[in-house]
Structure 1
């Protein structure tokens, strides 16, 4: 493995070098920022041209190299520059993105401008000890994606999928549910051009009530259903007033028309297309690779931007609350320009979820980074939760005063207002003041050269070109080679089995999806579950038979009118899966729908279709106008059901299993039904936590030894210099003494004869001491070399430990075992054996 630069430490972000304001020059000390400090959030302020965008892109690049995913909200169009990162640094890479107008004004042809830009970037990286290899590490570490809600230029994003009901844990938290409803309703009304106060607006109160009733019941809410609900709400009172008094039907119709006009407009169609607004998928690919998702909203109007940001923030809050607590950095939320979304006095829909994130996200390892060039327009009470401030060049004295007030309010112990004013007075280009509450004092630094080409804002056409290029690259990279195709197929089968075991499907009344976890090859459409009897069933029909007492009779519900029902055997069993090694102890309810065998006498459980618990889709009442296939006689004999129940227990003990993924290196297993990719995404945080703990151990182990050796080396250097100085002085004194003696002898003055003799003796003794002084220098240098060798060996030992950690704790390569757990025989509980009528 190639040796990485010293700044490539695990868990540290290389942001630049410390800056000496008095000399106006960089210091050799690197600014390495501890990634865990971002869990207390960060704010970056600076006027246009201060280097703010470069610093924030560097922060995202460092997070990516460290395997930390991010969601980046881009109101200006600058963040797409992250995709303009070229490991080969060839002129042809830069050529499509060169500003030809600017090149012409400089008297350059486009190809010459591309060559000049490539050379500038190569040199800029080299000046900061970086190269194309680091760009490659950045591009390999994460997937980069640009989403364009309301447009198909980038990846379309169907933001209205957020009207799906929140998970149960959030529905049980009334405060969290109200927050999400308020943000969703505020964003939707803003999109419709309606300014609404959550406490005063009838529109807001009505829609909030509709959302609360629907979501509390666990049901999703579409725009069409919402419009119908406005016209005919499922309640008669709002507070103490009846509905008509509170909001007359004629006025409600106007609100319904406003929302209907939204979905009727052709320009609204792209809002309904694309990937759903799923935070987990924005942060990780299906294979578990970290992702930087850029949500580009520069092409939208103000109301549309507010709508997207509000819904996205609400989804992030909901996702955050489903995560476990951690002190390591799990993910980043970055917003490039916060102006208008977090004002000091007004309360736009985006403000409440942002406040929630600033106050609560730390406990879940979610770091929030906000940037702006307008510090006067920010809510500094909310930003007092930010632990790190990056302050660049500011435009006015008012901006400086507001920033200083914010710094002093955000853990400003030990800060001096006068010192801050002095530090902020002469900030140059790319020079920032960093105030980190985890450090003892503020520090000035110059930002490093970005890995990405800072081309400037991208248009929709340019985003479309970038997205096509990224899609074609990922498609070619995704083609498996012949050598690993078998492993890919095995993994896919395991994932499918795991996913199918958790859900029977909401469309079970009409068609059941394949892949039983007990019998992967047996998964079929319910109508095809007994192909041998299909012909006879299709050709014969009868009135509903009389089912004897002692036989439970159930109907699988369907929306199909005048359905024809086929007889099947239903078994519902509760299974207990335990694996102490994997830390697994779960109960799971499964439904088995089986046909009779060819002789129509016995149940073939091996041909059963397996799904999740069907209880909610079953009815005991026969449907109206139904038609029924003939029932084999065996299905009308009650004693058979007791036999089939025992056979089902035996079948489950022999064949049922729960496929799980297990990571031996951390002793962690995945929840049933989770794919390997999602497991690797989850492991990323676990491994980062373990890495942070191991790094802390290394710091405690090596820091005292390194400090001691560095102090010894410093004293050894001082001793070498001292011995060299002494030797130099003795040489000079000896030369002077010998020269004086020779001159006295040559002059031949008798008065000087005795003195000359003494001087000659002194000179001889001085010359003798020169050899001793030379030996002292040699010994001091040898001692210094020994200490330097010890220090080098210890640094190499530390680097070896870091390399080992990097290899062992890489979530993309860590070993994952796929195993299958059998159910406990004593805990197999067959709760239902029944005659099931299945609609054809």
Structure 2
């Protein structure tokens, strides 16, 4: 079977409903059709999960990344691919209860499943080599937000200001804010109307205040801003009139209790919720990132899904336009996230994706077993519908009404009676493929999945299958260590006297004492008693600079901002400095704070000036601008574009060029094929006519011969009858020769067509190899700054806020310093 075609997904074979049998005609789905999105509907047991896993497997083989939301745990089966197909592969993953029901032990049942999968794959033309190709072309990772069963996901930076412009996209950003705020309030049990809820209005305005200034938010900063909003009025009312301080404190306490919970720390550790890290690994290999959310509560699911959709939109808007499929976004069960009447937080960002993602090559695929709870008006941009067997007549009628609505809005005709009849007779794994890209619906049976479809995985099973990645999980943690020593043993109640020639700044206080205590609590299993925390400012040095990188030969003109901090024990040595994410500095400290003494050597203007000079020298020798370059495509990476992101971009460019070249070649060969088809049809018509004539002449010759024989028996001799019979016999021999010649012509044309098809395959394979070479050759280009390119903005004495916390653990008095500025 020839199904390894570039840009085409092998989904199965056409199914003949009249004979209730499978045909030999392959269903090859053009991947570009997914840029107009797809919906898959089918009841439990219809084969919906198998079809969607087939789709994802094909995307992986074609090097197309996927963001997968898995509310039930079925799609985790993508990790169960076994090229060897032995019983040992299966024994760990078969269902013991199912084995018992069949009267088998685990080993027997595993052997049966292995044999069934081997045969099923072979029946559909697949083998271990295709499974190997699937595993080699993509990396499959299970992420478990709020849990360490798989890869944890950190939402620490999910409230960062979006990278898209506020001026250009304020409406879109406000929609994102609305979804995020609704999700946050849902976590603490507040069902908030964006128009009438004062909680929603307050939080939305806080987000808008910071994001419009391109300032990041985090949960701690949000809580503090609820207590002391950065604005004094909302509408025409004073903030305390609109939302009294006491009520704001109650709201902030609810949020604080949420994040103070030991279980919430799992939301703050792991891989940051940055889409680029979920579509490729650091080496540029395509990823299928499966977000398993079955273990979460309904409110937690809604919160995370909304965050994820918004992150996808922000990432998507930074990509270039394309007609080829760049990335898939798949959700395995959309029930509750896209209802027809209500507006949960997830609905608006999903609508935005359905409306805008096509232009960026992002395909959205949604699956459900509940066609009643779908907003069909919102799905008018969906070009492909996979329809399987449905549970009830009500489900079928609601689907038909929905499809009718979509067809009316897109001015397309829909044969409801035909689809109604087809749906009623669908069997398992048989689907209707209704697409705006095809003239008529196609009925097909899905191919055998390469992944072992054993049903949903539990958290323990996910932990088992992801154990080899444990070290990688730890290394991706966002937990940050900070030096805790004080710069001096002496603590004073007021700031030390500083030379007037030395600038000093204060890092903003972000972390509450309650959160600082909770950090320490999370380290211990037993009960700990705490003393009242003290806010202490320790001294350090902040260096801030902008480095202007320029290179006319590659049209590079980029500014790189550096913010470095030196802690007190590391003064005078910028080699020990760390990058710091603080955008705004304060000119005065928080109230009731204490201060450490500062070393005398940095309270001397002369020494401090030396520190400024050494900062400039350090940046000159330790700053560079790394770019990646494709010598074949002659393309440079963008600023802050990682190697993995650059490889993905090259992959996309190569895919676009590949699709364009393949289209041109196929169009060229299509003309040749059409000529040969016409020639073949003509030769077959000639053959059929000759065969019909030969058959007729044989019958006539037999009749004439029969007449002569009868005449002889009757005493009549007829030379004319004998002559006629002989003539017809001679004619039939001539026609027989013509038939042989016509058959040879047909065989020759078929050989020409086969040769032409092989020639096309060879050219397509050449294009594929050429495009693969384009993405494999990458060089690093390092741009060094000139000294004149370094613009020092500030070298200042910095006061770093920390919580000094004394506590008693098992009778031992201890003290820790917890950073309070992040």
Q: TM-score, normalised to structure 2's length?
A: 0.81
Q: Structure 1 residues 123 and 719, CA, compared in 2 at 3 Å: closer, same or farther?
A: farther
Task: Quote how far apart the aligned CAs of 1:766 are.
Answer: 3.4
Output the CA distance in 2 between the equivalents of 1:455 and 1:615: 48
Q: Once the two structures are superposed, what CA deviation does each residue of 1:311-351 show, in whole Å capped at 9, x if it has no partner?
A: 11121122122222222111111111111111111111111
Q: Which residue, 738, 745, 751 being the options, matches 2:716?
A: 751
Query: Of 272, 285, 294, which residue of structure 1 is paired with 2:281?
Result: 285
Q: Which residue, 56, 60, 73 being the options, matches 1:64?
A: 60
* Distance of aligned partners of 1:46 and 1:618 in 2 relative to their CA distance in 1, 3 Å threshold: closer
Say which SS state the counterpart of residue 92 (structure 2) adopts. Answer: helix
1:285-684 paired onto structure 2 within 5 Å: 285-411=281-407, 413-469=412-468, 563=539, 574-580=548-554, 584-588=555-559, 627=599, 629=601, 658-684=625-651
Q: Distance in 2 between matches of 1:632 and 1:306?
A: 56
Task: Kindly state the Cα deviation for residue 702 of structure 1 after the two structures are TM-superposed.
Answer: 1.5
State the 1:750 CA deviation.
3.8
Report SS of the residue matched to 1:145. strand
SS in 1 for 2:463: helix
SS of residue matched to 1:8: coil
Cα distance in 2 for partners of 1:710, 1:368 equals: 38
- The question of whether the paired residues in 1 share the 8 Å contact of 2:226 and 2:252 is answered with yes
Whether the aligned pair in 2 keeps the contact of 1:554 and 1:619 (CA below 8 Å) is: no
Instruction: Note if contact 1:592-1:608 (Cα within 8 Å) is conserved in structure 2.
Output: no
Deviation at 1:368, TM superposition (A): 0.9
Task: Classify 1:201/1:90 alpha carbon distance in 2 versus 1 (closer, same or farther; 3 Å).
Answer: same
Superposition deviation, residue 733 in structure 1: 4.1
Q: 2:246 maps to which residue?
A: 250
Q: What do the CA deviations read for 1:222-242 (whole angstroms, capped 9, x no partner)?
A: 222222222222222221112
Go from structure 1 to structure 2 and tell me whether the alpha carbon gap of 1:691 and 1:399 turns closer, same or farther (over 3 Å shift). Answer: same
Give the Cα separation in 1 of the matches to 2:116 and 2:483.
63
Counterpart Cα distance in 2 of 1:96 and 1:630: 64
The correspondence for 1:723, drawn from 683, 687, 690, is: 690
2:390 aligned counterpart, secondary structure: coil
**Contact (CA 8 Å) 2:654, 2:774: kept in 1 or not?**
no
- Preserved CA contact (<8 Å) 1:564 1:629: no
Of 117, 129, 132, which residue of structure 1 is paired with 2:128? 132
Residue 839 of structure 1: CA displacement?
Answer: 10
What is the match of residue 86 of structure 2?
Answer: 90
Shift of residue 116, structure 1, vs aligned partner: 1.4
How far did residue 272 of structure 1 move?
2.1
Superposition deviation, residue 456 in structure 1:
0.9
Q: Deviations over 1:691-714 (max 9, x none)?
A: 221122123212121122123223
For residue 136 of structure 2, give the secondary structure of its aligned residue in structure 1: helix
Stretches of structure 2 that go unaligned for 5 or more consecutive residues are 488-496, 509-535, 565-573, 589-594, 801-822
**Matched residue, 2:529:** none
Bigger mean CA offset, 370-379 vs 127-136 = 127-136
Seen in structure 2, the aligned counterparts of structure 1 residues 318 and 93 have a Cα distance that, compared at 3 Å, is same
CA distance in 1, matches of 2:645, 2:209: 32
2:716 match: secondary structure: helix
Q: Secondary structure at the match of 1:173?
A: helix
| Cα drift, residue 201 of structure 1 | 0.9
Specify which of 709, 720, 731 is matched with residue 676 of structure 2: 709
Relative distance call for 1:577 and 1:313 in structure 2 (3 A) is same
Whether the 8 Å contact between 1:168 and 1:218 is mirrored in structure 2 is no
Cα separation, 2, equivalents of 1:334 and 1:571: 43
Bigger mean CA deviation after superposition, 64-73 or 697-706: 697-706
Q: Using the alignment, how far apart are the partners of 2:345 and 2:546 within structure 1? A: 46
Separation of aligned partners in 2, 1:425 and 1:637: 84
Which residue matches 1:687? 654
Distance 1:718 1:421, change over 3 A: same
Q: Secondary structure at the match of 2:56?
A: helix
Whole-Å separation in 1 of the counterparts to 2:145 and 2:52: 23
Q: Which moved more, 1:431-440 or 1:244-253?
A: 244-253
Q: Deviations over 1:597-652 (max 9, x none)?
A: xxxxxxxxxx999999999799999x9975553999999999xx99x99x99xx98
Alignment match of 2:9 (pick from 10, 13, 17): 13
Shift of 1:92: 1.3
Distance 1:30 1:234, change over 3 A: same
State how far apart, in whole Å, the 1-side matches of 2:88 and 2:228 are: 61
Offset, 1:286: 1.6
| Count of equivalent residues | 745
Cα distance in 1, alignment partners of residues 576 and 584 from structure 2: 16
Paired with 1:451 and 1:438, the residues of 2 have a C-alpha distance of 27
Is residue 806 from structure 1 mapped to residue 805 from structure 2 by the alignment?
Answer: no
Change (3 A) 1:417 1:822: same
Measured after TM superposition, the shift of residue 545 of structure 1 is 9.2
Q: Does the CA contact (< 8 Å) of 2:11 and 2:446 recur in 1?
A: yes
2:752 aligned to which of 790, 796, 803: 790
Cα distance change on mapping 1:403 and 1:615 into 2, 3 Å: closer
C-alpha contact (below 8 Å) 2:539/2:797 kept by paired residues: no
- CA 1:725–1:379: 2 relative to 1, 3 Å: same
Cα–Cα, structure 1 residues 763 and 572, in superposed 2: closer, same or farther, change >3 Å? closer
Aligned-partner Cα distance in 2 for 1:218–1:771:
91
1:390: how far off? Answer: 1.2
- Asked whether the equivalents of residues 590 and 611 of structure 1 are also in contact (C-alpha less than 8 Å), the reply is no
The answer to whether 1:22 aligns with 2:18 is yes
For the residues of structure 1 that align with 2:783 and 2:181, how far apart are their CA atoms? Answer: 45
Aligned equivalent of 2:813: none
Q: Which residue number corresponds to residue 517 of structure 2?
A: none
Aligned to 1:531: none
The answer to whether the 8 Å contact 2:507/2:586 transfers is no
Deviates more, 1:142-151 or 1:400-409: 400-409
1:716-762 Cα shifts (integer Å, max 9, x gaps): 233334434434444454455445545654x3x5433xx1x223323
Deviation for aligned residue 1:835 = 9.0
C-alpha displacement at 1:214, in angstroms? 2.4
Q: State whether residues 157 and 274 of structure 1, in contact with CA within 8 Å, keep that contact through their aligned partners in structure 2.
A: yes
Distance in 1 (CA, whole Å) between partners of 2:403 and 2:500 is 81
For the pair 1:768 / 2:768, whether they are aligned, the reply is no
Instruction: Summarize deviations over 1:433-460 as a string: whole Å, max 9, x none.
Output: 1211111122222111111111111111
Cα distance in 1 between the residues matched to 2:577 and 2:669: 56
Contact 1:171/1:215 (CA < 8 Å) preserved in 2?
Answer: no
For the 8 Å contact 2:388–2:432, the answer to whether it is kept is yes
SS at match of 1:293: strand
How far residue 377 of structure 1 moved from its aligned partner, in angstroms, is 1.0
Taking the aligned partners of 2:130 and 2:74, their CA distance within structure 1 comes to: 21
Take 2:581 and 2:48, find their aligned partners in 1: how far apart are those partners?
55
Structure 1 pair 98–608 and aligned structure 2 pair: CA distance change class (3 A): closer
Q: How has the CA–CA distance of structure 1 residues 561 and 434 changed in structure 2, closer, same or farther, with 3 Å as cutoff?
A: same
Q: How many angstroms apart in 2 are the aligned matches of 1:218 and 1:311?
A: 19
Distance 1:682 1:771, change over 3 A: same
How large is the RMSD of aligned CA atoms in angstroms? 4.2
Cα distance per residue 1:268-317 (max 9 Å; x no partner): 23222221111111111121111111111111111111111111112112
